[in-house]
Amino acid sequence: MLNPMHLLTLEILRDESARFSALESQHAEKSLFGVTDGKAVGTYLEHKFKNYLRQHYEFQAGNSASGIDFPELLVDIKVTSIQQPQSSCPFKSARQKIYGLGYSLLIFVYEKQDDPLKRAASLNILHTIFVAAERTADFQMTKGILDILKNDGNKDDLMAFMADRNLPVDEIELGKIADDLLQHPPMKGFLTISNALQWRLQYSRVIEQAGKVTGIYRINHE
């Protein structure tokens, strides 16, 4: 009789990502030999991790509508090279830069090495980090806003700061956000989010702060 499939939970996802990182770091993959396209490496690792999970767990896979990999858990996978730890992310609202993306991130940071003798590549997973949704806002934006609020800043101060930081909204929306901030201050985020047609997320700070800040967890194998 086959073992029943277990429902994937957030805790299981984090535990299994650590085990997967340890296994993958020991694996030599011929199809990645000589590949320099980070997107191709990311697609490989994401698919392999999901297939690894499907052996034992039930979960709803993400699609283009949901935009994230585990919509039921509100978690998205990001795969990035240690050489330039960043990736793109769908733009939904300028408020994401202040209040967070609206979902958590599971980030695999790898170092790729090609073996010319075996004609295979290995992905050494250097960091596996979980960033809770409430920590996915922009660091400089949230830090500046919190400093203004701490120093008794008003709506005009907030609007001027956000305009100086080129938050991609018009003045009417800027005023609405400032009003909301006075009532609902944000939590400090730890991503660097660059304005573009898609958000550009940079992860150097979360790599540095993982395990030191509530909501950013270093979960990889030691």
| Residue 5: pLDDT band with limits 50, 70, 90 | confident
Residue 95 lies in a domain: no
Buried b (16+ CB within 10 A) or exposed e, 88-108: ebebeebbbbbbbbebbbbbb
Domain annotation covers residue 79 = yes
Structure token pair of residue 219: 């979960």
Domain-located, residue 96: no
Statement to judge: residues 86 and 175 lie in one domain: no
Report the C-alpha gap between 140 and 127 in whole angstroms: 23
Residue 66 has pLDDT above 70, yes or no: no
Residues 77 and 14 in one domain: yes
**pLDDT bucket at 62, cuts 50 / 70 / 90:** confident
Report the run of H or E that residue 69 belongs to, with start and end.
Answer: none
Please indicate, yes or no, whether residues 157 and 214 belong to a single structural domain of this protein.
no
Residues 206 and 132 placed together within one structural domain of the fold = yes
Identify which of 44, 60, 49 has the alpha carbon closest to the alpha carbon of residue 16: 49
If one counts the domains in the chain, the total is 2
Q: Are residues 179 and 208 in the same domain?
A: no
Q: Which domain holds residue 29?
A: 6-90+102-136+195-218
CA distance 10 to 8: 7
